[in-house]
Amino acid sequence: MITLRSYLKGDWREGSGDVATLVNPATEEPIGTASTKGLDLAGAVDHARKNGGPALRAMTFAERGERLKKLSKALYEIRDSLIEASILNSGTTRSDAKFDIDGATGTLAYYASLGEKLGARRTLVDGEGEALTRSPRFWGVHVKTPRLGVAVHVNAFNFPAWGLAEKAAVALLAGVPVVTKPATATALLAFRAMERIVQSEVLPDGALQMVCGGAGDLLAHLGPQDVLSFTGSGSTGAHLRGLRNVIERSVRVNVEADSLNAAVLGDDVAPGSDTYQMFVRDVAREVTQKTGQKCTATRRVFVPRALIDRVQADLAERLAEIKIGDPSLDEVRMGPVATAQQLADVRAGIGVLIDSGARAVWGSATDVKPIGVSAGKGYFVGPVLLRADQPREARAVHEHEVFGPVVTLMPHEGAQDAAELVGLGEGGLVASAYSDDRAVVETLVLGMAPFSGRVLIGSAKIAEQAISPGTVLPSCVHGGPGRAGAGEELGGLRGLDFYMQRTALQGDRAFLDKLG
Amino acid sequence: MITLRSYLKGDWREGSGDVATLVNPATEEPIGTASTKGLDLAGAVDHARKNGGPALRAMTFAERGERLKKLSKALYEIRDSLIEASILNSGTTRSDAKFDIDGATGTLAYYASLGEKLGARRTLVDGEGEALTRSPRFWGVHVKTPRLGVAVHVNAFNFPAWGLAEKAAVALLAGVPVVTKPATATALLAFRAMERIVQSEVLPDGALQMVCGGAGDLLAHLGPQDVLSFTGSGSTGAHLRGLRNVIERSVRVNVEADSLNAAVLGDDVAPGSDTYQMFVRDVAREVTQKTGQKCTATRRVFVPRALIDRVQADLAERLAEIKIGDPSLDEVRMGPVATAQQLADVRAGIGVLIDSGARAVWGSATDVKPIGVSAGKGYFVGPVLLRADQPREARAVHEHEVFGPVVTLMPHEGAQDAAELVGLGEGGLVASAYSDDRAVVETLVLGMAPFSGRVLIGSAKIAEQAISPGTVLPSCVHGGPGRAGAGEELGGLRGLDFYMQRTALQGDRAFLDKLG
């Protein structure tokens, strides 16, 4: 049994009482405990503001970038032990663990390179300056400076490594200190990463702290220069957004929440074509990778009515190939979901979709025979392919996110109809469109864009080069309107805006030109 | 007595019962009534989404810009009657009325010119595209498309014309229909402007609607594609941000609220110098223009301790020149505040500042003899100069916005100290720094920027060309962190972001290059 500690005010701290137990989701065996009871979280916030912030702001972007590069390397050096922690506590296969961990080191390295490009400056200039009156001397320019508070990051259980790193990379590059809180149930991986980060001595004191266990009163201490970035359920996101101090003190909040991500197959795509194969491959991957526990996983699939039986058969064939079981076994392609609660939620969620008008056409909520696992143990659920032939009637399919290997297949009546069906999800992180017809793609892209943080367009010419739609790249924004939380992360330098204040400066041009 | 009606669903509508009375603040005589009781506000929201939105989105930016240009001209044509409405219902002098009305037509014209520059496109491209993998074909680019909902604008009582126009200009250029609600007490000017807008037939049906009177259930109908932009008190802003549907459905909200705007005189500035004169002139103007009822008016003034008596004397001399009274008289420089409630709030607020450790050194909350007004009538309050020699102890001076011709003079101990004192306001719309010393200005600007949406730097070289800090230009962002509501408006094209969804597109470069 491992005791996970919190790293606060420059030291590892152990809570007392109210202990949460972490388990191995493949065996249900306890592996560790975490508690924050009695820890001085107000002191941690204060420590970040008084020590971490000034130290980071004293550095240039290039210097902060160098630290991120070193962090990326430090974590990469213990990649194997991080993978083991992921398998043990998150129930991921080795491949799924790498997706999380390599995403973490890759995102750190990406923001390190942005820091290098920004160079020896501490302030960003936003756009071009301009004369504000008829005089060429009285000049206006917009600059961005780091906020003077702390960034609190509340992460989801599904990406303990990436969630920690992608949020921290952006905040630290912006010059804002971080208190990060992994979801307790799968915190082992984040804890191991943090041990390494602390050991590496790369960051100044107070720049990065970690709360392992409950959030306690952490959020109550946030004020007008602080930010809160949350990834998780929409209901928790709404709760955080409604906190009294968050509302009354204008704490900046970013929420990345529920999303009924959609994939659309265009009318023009012939079964068996490269584009069709890309579509089937992507959907099958998105449904099963990380056992469907990705906020970007495809939940709804819209295909031409004439092709729905064919697509159903092809997807079922792909899903049938997926071996489920003990994620430490090489042959296993899909592990359990992360917790008993997730398993219960996934099973109940499938019921909700079926009650709403979908039917299971492949797999079921309960019928699964995992390989290499003691009978009845582990939080396993097989891939489930649902189908709803009347997509506008099956409302829950567009509103209820089942966070597991579950997808619903539906017919559409053309590109415009498909875009409207995607819109029934009321905002998502990513939608994908598969077509080689320019008109079809335009209708889909422009129709889905207002509802989507990201749109991937699959086509024959890029069938081999493209990433799968569920992959979040640091260069593209991650977030979505409405149900997805109305937030934005990453997107290269765009991500820094959340951590900085944009200020219009007005004055003598000669002075302002030198300030930049 | 004028009956103000609402323009909803393509027609003028009159509410019944629950009538609010509008008065002339200089005479306290009733001049009109407004009511929204029984009006179909849900229908108005629906009308905007179903008619106004599609009509606007069908236009290019250039076409929308043309409409804005026509609106600007249409309003300019009735400038004189708008000025009369402002004097009658807002108690503004002619000069203060022009500040509001010319700001309205100017901002419409400015966004018209941006539309012309954007040209025949309907989608904005955000930044440069880039290769997402090693393949040069798989490309990423960010685009912005108009949100598919409605923009509800809830405006403050102090700028009935500009508030209407500056928010509507940005939303309409972005392609999003508007339901605008002026503050009821001073709605006459906005109503007259809307009459002209409707008469001009410039906008498509449903593009712009107006609610004159209470908001009723208007906000309860907002959902994930809608936005709410509010200007007014921090407490109302917090209430709106906490509305159940706003939180649960991720309605985008922009708040522009309380702000303890500051002006700082640098240690290097010699009394009587051009920079000093600019500083005194700006402070006096900001305290008295629109009777101090500007969200950007200077509320706190920090000067070197050695100069505080001199500044006090010079400001008092300026304030003594201000003639107060019936705003329709040519000789009058300052009219009443807008409502009886405002007068009560200003008087009470002066008491709060005095209780906190400030003392009145010129003027008082009650001693005022307005010119040309019946004895005891009108919501008049003279300029009041307060002074607090221990600025860190007089907390209310940094926290309580008195929305009238009231300012507090305080000493600072150098640029770093002054920046920290400005920060005690916990976020403001604008701060100004007056200095000709490069080091002083840098310390002030970088120290104040994280707390400020805008910073004006006054110096000898631009003393004659610069605008006063309270003037909001459409090319610069307007908004501020923390207490100021953490919002952003205007700023040229930056303002459009609030009304658009940014989406990362990933796909074949050849296709994406043409889509832009």
Q: Convert the pLDDT of each residue in A412-470 to its tens digit.
A: 999 999 999 999 999 999 999 999 999 999 999 999 999 999 999 999 999 998 899 99
Whether A255 sits inside 8 A of B255 (CB atoms) is: no
Count: domains in chain A: 2
SS3 category, B112 = helix
* Other CB atoms within 10 A of residue A321 CB: 9
Question: Do A499 and A375 share a domain, yes or no?
Answer: no
Per-residue confidence (pLDDT) for residue B17, from 0 to 100: 81
Percent of chain A with pLDDT over 70: 100
Specify if B481 maps to a domain.
no
Interchain pair B501, A515: CB under 8 A: no
Residue B154 has pLDDT above 90, yes or no: yes
Tell me the residues of chain B between 460 and 479 that have a Cβ less than 8 Å away from chain A: 461-462, 465-467, 473, 475-477
- CA pseudo-torsion sign B165, B166, B167, B168: positive
CA distance B91 to B131: 59
pLDDT score recorded for residue B275: 97
Residue B507 contacts A where some CB pair is shorter than 8 Å: yes
* Contact at CB, A135 and B450, closer than 8 angstroms: no
Q: Does B121 touch chain A (CB under 8 A)?
A: no
- Cα separations (Å) of A337 from A32, A93, A98, B32? 18, 11, 17, 65
Distance CA A57, CA A64 (A): 9
A22 token code pair: 């972490």
Percent of chain A predicted with pLDDT > 90? 96
A374 Cβ under 8 Å from any chain B Cβ:
no
Contacts of A502 in chain B (CB under 8 A): 453, 477, 488, 491, 494
Q: pLDDT value at position B361?
A: 97
Q: How far is B135 from chain A (nearest CA, A)?
A: 6
Burial class (CB in 10 A: 0-12, 13-18, 19+), B398: buried
Q: Model confidence over B462-476: pLDDT tens digits?
A: 999 889 999 999 999
Residue B307 near chain A (CB below 8 Å):
no
Q: Within this chain, do residues A381 and A500 fall inside the same structural domain, yes or no?
A: no
Provide the number of CB pairs (under 8 Å) joining chain A to chain B: 247
Report the alpha-carbon distance of residue A505 to residue A503 in Å, rounded: 6
B300 and B400 inside one domain? yes
Question: Are both B252 and B276 inside the same structural domain?
Answer: no
Residue A245 sits at the chain B interface (C-beta within 8 Å): no
Judge: A241–B247 Cβ closer than 8 Å, yes or no.
yes
Residue A481 lies in a domain: no
Residue whose C-alpha is closest to residue B156's, from B148, B164, B168, B144: B164
Q: What is the pLDDT of residues B194-220, one digit of tens each?
A: 999 999 999 999 999 999 999 999 999
Task: Give me the residue from A133, A255, A441 closest to B467, CB to CB.
Answer: A133
Q: Are residues A329 and A198 in the same domain?
A: no
CB distance from B441 to chain A under 8 Å? yes
Q: Is A449 exposed, middle or buried (0-12, 13-18, 19+ CB in 10 A)?
A: buried
Interface test with chain B among A416, A501, A512, by most B beta carbons within 10 Å: A501
User: Once rounded to an integer, what is the mean pLDDT over residues B245-253?
Assistant: 95
For residue B221, give its domain range: 2-257+488-512
B385 shares its domain with B499? no
Contacts of A315 (CB under 8 A, 6+ apart): A280, A283, A284, A301, A362, A385, A407, A409
> What's the pLDDT at B367?
84
Q: Among this protein's residues, is A295 annotated catalytic?
A: yes
| Residue B478 located in a structural domain | no
Distance from C-alpha of A402 to C-alpha of A343, rounded to nearest angstrom: 10
**Residue A476 among the catalytic residues:** no
Residue A515: per-residue pLDDT: 79
Residue B430 lies in a domain: yes
CA B74, B337, B484, A507 dihedral sign is positive
CA B327, B329, B330, B331: dihedral to nearest 10 degrees? -90
Q: Which of A503, A509, A515 to mutate to test the interface with B (most CBs of B within 10 A)?
A: A503
What pLDDT, on a 0 to 100 scale, did the predictor assign at position A365? 83
- Which A residues, 131 through 170, put their C-beta within 8 Å of a C-beta on chain B? 132-133, 135, 137-138, 140, 142-143, 145-148
Query: Is pLDDT of B516 > 60?
Result: no
B457 closest CB neighbour out of A248, A477, A508 = A508
Q: B423 at the A interface (CB within 8 A)? A: yes
Q: Residues of B with CB below 8 A from A137's CB?
A: 461-462, 465
Burial of A360 (0-12, 13-18, 19+ CB in 10 A): middle
In a domain, A88, yes or no: yes
Indicate if B205 and B219 belong to the same structural domain: yes
Same domain, B99 and B192: yes
Q: Mean pLDDT throughout B274-288?
A: 97
Average pLDDT for A341-360: 97
Q: What is the pLDDT of residue A375?
A: 87
**B366, pLDDT greater than 90:** no
**In a shared domain, residues B118 and B249:** yes
Nearest CA in chain B to A399: B249
DSSP secondary structure string for all residues of A24-85: -TTT--EEEEE--TT--HHHHHHHIIIIIHHHHHHS-HHHHHHHHHHHHHHHHHTHHHHHHH
Average pLDDT for B302-314: 98
- Interchain contact, B224 vs A138, CB within 8 Å: no
**CB of B364 less than 8 A from some CB of A:** no
A442 closest CB neighbour out of B242, B483, B515: B515
Q: What is the CATH number of the domain that holds B106?
A: 3.40.605.10
- Can you tell me whether residue A20 is helix, strand or coil? strand
Q: In what order do the strands lie in the sheet with A262-265?
A: A359-362, A384-387, A406-412, A300-304, A262-265, A428-434, A452-458, B500-508, B138-146, B124-131
Q: Does the CB of A426 have a partner CB in chain B at under 8 Å? A: yes
Residue A109 lies in a domain: yes
Interatomic CA distance for residues B360 and B352, integer angstroms? 12
B123 interaction partners in chain A (CB closer than 8 Å) = 446
CB contact under 8 A, B250 and A486: yes
Q: What are phi and psi of A296, to 5 degrees?
A: -100, 5
Same domain, yes or no: B468 and B327: yes
Which residue of chain B is at minimal alpha-carbon distance from A240?
B247
Rounded to a whole number of angstroms, the distance from the CA of B264 to the nearest CA of chain A is 14
What separation in angstroms does the CA of B277 have from each of B110, B271, B435, B462?
31, 8, 12, 12
Q: What is the pLDDT of residues A307-316, one digit of tens each?
A: 999 999 999 9
- CB of B19 within 8 Å of a chain A CB? The answer is no
Kindly determine whether residue A445 and residue B505, on different chains, have CB atoms separated by under 8 Å.
Answer: yes
Residues A86 and A218 both lie in one domain: yes
Give the chain B residue nearest A491 (alpha carbons): B504
C-beta neighbour count of B79 within 10 angstroms? 16
Question: For residue B451, is it within any domain?
Answer: yes
Across chain A, mean pLDDT equals 96
Q: Catalytic pick from A286, A295, A401, A488?
A: A295
Averaged over B104-115, what is the pLDDT? 98
The residue annotated as part of the active site, out of A166, A256, A488, A489, is A256
B465–A501 C-beta distance less than 8 A: no
**Does some domain include residue A479?**
no
Q: Is the pLDDT score of A20 beyond 90?
A: yes
- CATH number of A368's domain: 3.40.309.10
Cα A93 to Cα A97: distance, rounded to the nearest angstrom = 6
Q: Are residues B363 and B273 in the same domain?
A: yes
Asked whether the beta carbons of residue A426 and residue B482 sit closer than 8 angstroms, the reply is no
Burial classification of residue A394, based on how many CB atoms lie within 10 Å of its CB (0-12 exposed, 13-18 middle, 19 or more buried)? buried
